A and B are shown apart, each in its own frame.
Chain A
Amino acid sequence: MKRLLTLAVSSLALAASPALAQDVAITGATVALGDGSDPVENATVVVRGGRVVAAGAGVSVPAGMTVLDGTGTWVTPGIFASITNLGLVDVGAVSESNDVDADDSPFGAALDVSPVINPNAQDFGYSRAGGVTRASVMPEAGASIFGGQGAIIDLGADYDAVRHPRAFQVVEFGERGARLAGGSRTSVHALLRNALHEAGTYGDAGELRTAGSAGGQREGLGLDSRMPNNVDRQGDVLLTRFDAAALVPVVRGEQKLYVQVERASDILSVLALREEFPALDIVLVGATEGWMVADRIAAADVPVIANALRDLPASFEQLAATQSNVGRLVDAGVKVAIGGYDSSGDHPRNLPQQAGNMVALNRVPGATGLTWGEAFAAITSVPAEVAGLGGRMGVLAEGAHGDLVVWDGDPLETSSAPVRVFVDGVEQPLTNHQTRLRDRYRSLDESERPRAYEW
C-alpha cells in the first residue's frame, strides 16, 4: 500500500482531548460495509468531519480531500466488541487491578462502570491495534444477581472513551445467578421479580427522570441524578435506595437489561418475564442452548450476544452447545452479535477469528454457519444494533461514525491484521506494551549494551 499520508500517531501517551478528525478518502480497496453484504472490490470510502460520507463502488472523492491508495488492502468499519471488560482490568489475576466485579460490595444494580473505565489499560491499546474501535463494557455480577450498569465506549486514544454511560443493566440468570441468589434458580426469580417491583414502585413515588439510557449525547459521569430527590421508602424492602433507583429505567424499558442465561428452559423463563414486566428491553447474553428455542426468541424479537465457538457441555446448562448455535439462531430470524470470551484466547481482538469460523462451518454437512457478510456483520453492525446504536457505528453508512480499519487482507482470515485504524476519523496509534517488547527483542544482541537501553 502506498502511504500518501503519514500521520504522527506514534505517541503512547493519550491526548487530554480528542484530536481533530481528518477528512480522508481511501480508494481502490476491497470494502466491506459491515451491513451483511458481500465485500466490494475496488471501492472507495469517504470520511469527513469524523463521519462516513459514502462507501462503495463508484463513490466519487470530493475535491480537496486527502486520498489514500487502498490498493491491496481491505477497508471495513471497526470491530464492535460486545460485553468486554476493556478498561476495567490491567491484569485479570491481579485483583487490585481488576474492577470487573465487586464481590463484597453492598450494591449491585447501582454499580456503574462509566467512571472507572481506564483507557490507558494496555488492553485498550492492544484491542485497538487489533481493529476494535467500539465496545460494550460489562460489569459482572459479584455480590448479587445484578452486575450493575455497563457502558458503550470507543477505543480512541483519548480520555473520552465512555460515549454511552449506563447503556444497560446486567443480571445473572442460570447456574451462576442461582449461586449468587442463595443457592437456587427459584431465588433468582424471586429476587429479580421483587427488585423490579420495588423499582417500579420507587419510580412512581419518586417521579424520577432517567438519565443515561441510550441517548445520542455524552452523559455526565457523576453520581446518579435520581438519588438526591428521593424520600425514604416505606415497608420491608430488599434493595438499597441506590439499587432501586438504578432499576427504574430497566423496569420502564428505558435501559436495556442484559440477561446472562444459557439453558433453553431458562431462556424461555426470561422471555416470560415480559408478561409481568412488559416494558423490559431484554438482550440475551450467552444463550448457548438458544438454537433449541430459536423460534421463540425470534418471535419475542429479543436479540442475542453469543460466543460463536462454544461446543462443549461445559455445564449442565450448556449440554446442547454447538458451534451451529449462532447460524441456527440467525436462520430463525434472531439478531445475533458474536461476543463472549471463554478463554484467554477469545480476546476481543480475536472476534474476527470467531466470525471466520462461522464461515468455515458452512462447509461442514449438518452444521449451520454464516455467510461471510453475515459473519462480519455479527462483529460490526449487529452488535451496534443490539446496543441500540444501529446505523451509527459498526457500519460504513452515511452519517455513521468514521471508524475505519485498513487491513492487510481479508479481516476474517487468520493471517490478516489492521495496518491503520481510525476512530471518528482520527487515525489511531497502534503501538502498545506488546509492540514495544516486540521491537526491543527483535534482536538478542547484547554485545554493546543490555537490551534495556533499546527503547
Chain B
Amino acid sequence: MGRHSKKGGPVALLLTTAASLALAGCTSASGNDRPAVAAAPVAAEEPYASTYERYPGVPTAIVGATIYDGAGGMIENGTVLFADGEVVGIGGADLAIPAGYTRVDGTGRFVTPGIIDIHSHLGDYPTPSVDAHSDGNEATDPTTPEVWAEHSVWPQDPGFSRALANGGITSLQILPGSANLMGGRSVTLKNVPSRTVQGMKFPGAPYSLKMACGENPKRVYGGRNRMPSTRMGNFAVNRETWIEAQEYMAEEEPDRDIAMETLAGVLSGEIMIQNHCYRADEMALVLSMADEFGYRVSAFHHAVESYKIADMLRDNEVCSAVWADWYGFKMEAYDAIPENAALIHNQGACVVIHSDDENGIQRLNQEAAKAQADGRRMGIDIADADVISWITLNAARAMGIGDVTGSLEAGKMADVVLWNGDPLSIYSRPEMVWIDGAVMYDMNDPQMRPVSDFELGQPGEGDVK
C-alpha cells in the first residue's frame, strides 16, 4: 500500500482554517477597527513542506470497547472502524463490520482519539538536555518572529517515543520558548519517527506564532539592561512591532522580510497566536492589544489565572491551555489553583490540558483526570467524555487541525488510542496507538516501540521505559 497524504493537501486546509478563523474573529472583535490588510508577499511554494505520508495499515475494527469520541460523546460496548488512514465510522455493538476488517478486541478497554499536546518543546529542547541541545529560545532579541521552531527540532529526541508509548500522543505542537515577546513560528507534528522534521510535519496544519507576556521577556532582556525590562515595556515593544507589520503590509512591493511575513500572516488570519501568559490582568490586556491590531489569540498557554476571567475568555472565544496543578514556581504562578480547568469549563470557555514538559506529555490523561476531580470536589461535575476533549478535540481546534483530527468522526484521520482501561484512571496505559490508521505502538509487541538513533547501543536500548 502506498503512503499518501489526504484531503487536498496543505493549501486547501490552510485556506479553510484561515477563513474559519476570520469568521470567529468577527464574532468577538470590536468590528470596524480591523485594519485593511494587503496580501503579503510569500514564497511561491510552501517552504520546508511536509513530506509526511501515512504508513500502511489494515482496515481495522475495534469492538466491544468504551469509546470516548473526543467531541463529548461516549459509547459503551462500541465499535470503531477505520481504513485507508481514515475513520470509517463509530457506533454501538450493532455497527456492521465490513468484510476484510481485522478485529481488535476492545473488551474491558477504552478508545479515544489520539492524544494531542498543544504545547511541547520536544525536539527543540530534546534530551539529553545538554547545552548543545538548547534550541528553543532565540534569546538574542525580544521579537524574533523570523525564527521557525521546525528548524530547531531534532527528530531523534527520545522524548517523542515516550510521548507515544506512555501518553498516546499522536499530534503535537512544538513551540519556541518564552524568552521572547514574539518567539517565532510553531510547527505541528505527527508523532511518527522520522529521519527529518519534514517527515513529521502535520500536512496542512496552519502555523502559529508563539508570543509571551509577563516575567520571562522582561527578565531576559531587562537583565541585559535593554528593553523590555518591565511589563509596560513588553507591551510597548509588541505594539511597535505590530505597527511595523502593518506598515509592511501597506507597502506595495515590500522586500522579503521573513519576520514581517510571519506577522503579516497573523494579521491576515492565516497564522494563529499561541500566547504564553499567566496572569488574568495581563491576558485581558493582550486581548485589548489583539483588538487594537486586529488579530485573534487562539489560546493562552499556562493561563494559571484563567479562572479569574473565564467569562471574558468565553466571550472572546479564547482557549486556555493549562496544567492540572502546577503552581508557585514563579511569582506569576502564585495564584494557580487546581480547580482552574474546571472553573474555566464551567463558564463555558474552552479548556486544553497541555504539558510544556517532556515528562508531563506522557500523562496528559492523568492530568485531565486530576483537573476533573478537583472540579467535582467543588461541585462542578464534568462528564468523562468532555474531559477527554480537553486533550483531543479542543487541542486540535486551538491548533487549527480540528477539522481533520481530534475526534473519531468518519472522514477524519484515524489517529486512535486503545487504552487497557479507563484513560482517566491512574491504572491505565495505552495498549495500541494508530496514526493515520497505521499501528505505531503496541504494548504487547516489543518490536513495535520506536528507538531513536541516540539510544542505539546505549544502556537500556529498547527497554520498556
Using a CB–CB cutoff of 8 Å, the interface residues on chain A facing chain B are: 90-94, 122-123, 126, 264, 289, 292, 309-316, 318-324, 342-347, 350, 353, 356-357, 359-361, 363-367, 408, 412-417, 433-435, 437-438, 441-442, 444, 451
B426 engages A444 (CB within 8 Å): no
Q: Which of A91, A92, A414, A441 contacts B343 (CB 8 A)?
A: A441
A414 engages B426 (CB within 8 Å): yes
B359 engages A345 (CB within 8 Å): yes
- Give the contact stretch, choosing among B125-133, B175-183, B234-242, B403-411: B125-133
B455 engages A313 (CB within 8 Å): yes
* 5 nearest A-B residue pairs (beta carbon): A320-B460, A356-B426, A320-B459, A93-B330, A414-B369
A264 engages B377 (CB within 8 Å): no
The residues of B that contact A92 with a CB separation of less than 8 Å are 328-330
Question: Mind listing 14 A-B residue pairs with CB under 8 Å?
Answer: A292-B459, A311-B362, A315-B127, A322-B463, A323-B166, A344-B329, A344-B333, A345-B359, A353-B363, A365-B443, A414-B424, A434-B338, A438-B339, A444-B311
Give min CB distance, A410 to chain B, whole Å. Answer: 8
Task: Using A319-B459, A414-B373, A415-B369 as known contacts, say yes or no to A353 and B426 having CB atoms under 8 A apart.
Answer: yes
B366 engages A363 (CB within 8 Å): no
How far, in whole Å, are A309 and B427 apart by their CA atoms in the complex?
Answer: 14
Does B308 have its Cβ within 8 Å of any Cβ on chain A? yes
A353 engages B420 (CB within 8 Å): no
The residues of B that contact A345 with a CB separation of less than 8 Å are 323-326, 357, 359-360, 367
B464 engages A324 (CB within 8 Å): yes
B428 engages A313 (CB within 8 Å): no
B335 engages A437 (CB within 8 Å): yes
B464 engages A364 (CB within 8 Å): yes
Residue of B nearest to A352 (CB): B426
How far, in whole Å, are A94 and B333 apart by their CA atoms in the complex?
Answer: 11
Does B307 have its Cβ within 8 Å of any Cβ on chain A? yes
Complex interface residues of chain B between 286 and 340 (CB less than 8 A to chain A): 307-311, 323-331, 333-339
Q: Mark B371-395, 1 if CB is under 8 A from A, else 0.
A: 0111011100000000000000000
How far, in whole Å, are A363 and B159 apart by their CA atoms in the complex?
Answer: 22
Q: Is the interface of B mostly helix, strand, loop or mixed?
A: loop
Q: Mark B164-175, 1 if CB is under 8 A from A, else 0.
A: 001000000000
Known: A122-B328, A313-B454, A346-B359. 20 other contacts (CB 8 A): A91-B333, A94-B330, A311-B362, A313-B158, A316-B130, A319-B460, A320-B459, A322-B464, A323-B465, A347-B325, A353-B363, A356-B426, A357-B366, A360-B429, A365-B464, A367-B464, A408-B377, A434-B327, A444-B311, A444-B347
Residue of B nearest to A310 (CB): B359
Does B32 have its Cβ within 8 Å of any Cβ on chain A? no
How far, in whole Å, are A320 and B464 apart by their CA atoms in the complex?
Answer: 11
A312 engages B373 (CB within 8 Å): no
B426 engages A312 (CB within 8 Å): no
The residues of B that contact A311 with a CB separation of less than 8 Å are 162, 166, 362, 465
Does B121 have its Cβ within 8 Å of any Cβ on chain A? no
A-B CB pair tally, cutoff 8 Å: 176
Q: Which of A309, A344, A365, A412 contacts B327 (CB 8 A)?
A: A344
A365 engages B446 (CB within 8 Å): yes
Give min CB distance, B430 to chain A, whole Å. Answer: 9
The residues of B that contact A413 with a CB separation of less than 8 Å are 425-427
Give min CB distance, A94 to chain B, whole Å. Answer: 6
Does B370 have its Cβ within 8 Å of any Cβ on chain A? yes
Does B444 have its Cβ within 8 Å of any Cβ on chain A? yes
How far, in whole Å, are A366 and B460 apart by their CA atoms in the complex?
Answer: 12
Does B458 have its Cβ within 8 Å of any Cβ on chain A? yes
How far, in whole Å, are A91 and B52 apart by their CA atoms in the complex?
Answer: 44
How far, in whole Å, are A364 and B465 apart by their CA atoms in the complex?
Answer: 10
A353 engages B424 (CB within 8 Å): no
The residues of A that contact B310 with a CB separation of less than 8 Å are 444
B338 engages A415 (CB within 8 Å): no
B458 engages A313 (CB within 8 Å): yes
The residues of A that contact B331 with a CB separation of less than 8 Å are 91, 93-94
How far, in whole Å, are A191 and B307 apart by their CA atoms in the complex?
Answer: 51
Number of residues in B with C-beta < 8 Å to the partner? 66
The residues of A that contact B84 with a CB separation of less than 8 Å are none
B359 engages A343 (CB within 8 Å): yes
A312 engages B337 (CB within 8 Å): no
How far, in whole Å, are A343 and B446 apart by their CA atoms in the complex?
Answer: 29
Give min CB distance, A88 to chain B, whole Å. Answer: 13
Q: Which of B129, B328, B337, B367 contacts A123 (CB 8 A)?
A: B328
The residues of A that contact B372 with a CB separation of less than 8 Å are 415
The residues of A that contact B308 with a CB separation of less than 8 Å are 441, 444, 451
The residues of A that contact B376 with a CB separation of less than 8 Å are 415
Give min CB distance, A91 to chain B, whole Å. Answer: 5
The residues of B that contact A408 with a CB separation of less than 8 Å are 377
Residue of A nearest to B459 (CB): A320
The residues of B that contact A444 with a CB separation of less than 8 Å are 308-311, 347
How far, in whole Å, are A437 and B305 apart by their CA atoms in the complex?
Answer: 10
How far, in whole Å, are A367 and B430 apart by their CA atoms in the complex?
Answer: 14
Give min CB distance, B369 to chain A, whole Å. Answer: 4
Residue of A nearest to B428 (CB): A360
Give min CB distance, B12 to chain A, whole Å. Answer: 37
How far, in whole Å, are A350 and B366 apart by their CA atoms in the complex?
Answer: 11
Q: Which of B307, B424, B446, B454 contacts A366 (CB 8 A)?
A: B446
B130 engages A315 (CB within 8 Å): yes
How far, in whole Å, are A319 and B127 apart by their CA atoms in the complex?
Answer: 10
The residues of B that contact A366 with a CB separation of less than 8 Å are 446, 463-464
Residue of A nearest to B380 (CB): A442
Task: Using A415-B372, A415-B424 as known contacts, say yes or no to A93 and B329 having CB atoms under 8 A apart.
Answer: yes
How far, in whole Å, are A90 and B329 apart by their CA atoms in the complex?
Answer: 8
How far, in whole Å, are A415 and B337 apart by their CA atoms in the complex?
Answer: 16
Give min CB distance, B344 to chain A, whole Å. Answer: 11
How far, in whole Å, are A367 and B215 apart by their CA atoms in the complex?
Answer: 41
Q: Which of A126, A316, A367, A414 contacts B366 (CB 8 A)?
A: A414
How far, in whole Å, are A415 and B130 apart by their CA atoms in the complex?
Answer: 36
A360 engages B458 (CB within 8 Å): no
The residues of B that contact A350 with a CB separation of less than 8 Å are 325
How far, in whole Å, are A316 and B454 apart by their CA atoms in the complex?
Answer: 11
How far, in whole Å, are A91 and B323 apart by their CA atoms in the complex?
Answer: 18
Residue of B nearest to A121 (CB): B328
B337 engages A289 (CB within 8 Å): no
Complex interface residues of chain B between 147 and 166 (CB less than 8 A to chain A): 158-159, 162, 166
B357 engages A360 (CB within 8 Å): no
Q: Which of A320, A364, A417 contacts B458 (CB 8 A)?
A: A320
Does B358 have its Cβ within 8 Å of any Cβ on chain A? yes
Complex interface residues of chain B between 105 and 156 (CB less than 8 A to chain A): 127-130
A343 engages B360 (CB within 8 Å): yes
B328 engages A264 (CB within 8 Å): no
How far, in whole Å, are A292 and B458 apart by their CA atoms in the complex?
Answer: 12
Give min CB distance, B388 to chain A, whole Å. Answer: 14
Q: Which of A126, A324, A417 contacts B463 (CB 8 A)?
A: A324
Give min CB distance, A269 to chain B, whole Å. Answer: 16
Task: Using A289-B459, A324-B463 as known contacts, say yes or no to A412 and B426 having CB atoms under 8 A apart.
Answer: yes
B127 engages A314 (CB within 8 Å): yes
The residues of A that contact B347 with a CB separation of less than 8 Å are 444
A314 engages B128 (CB within 8 Å): yes
Residue of A nearest to B376 (CB): A415
Task: Using A315-B130, A416-B373, A438-B337 as known contacts, say yes or no to A309 and B328 having CB atoms under 8 A apart.
Answer: no
Residue of A nearest to B424 (CB): A414
Give min CB distance, A373 to chain B, whole Å. Answer: 14
The residues of A that contact B127 with a CB separation of less than 8 Å are 312-315
How far, in whole Å, are A413 and B363 apart by their CA atoms in the complex?
Answer: 13
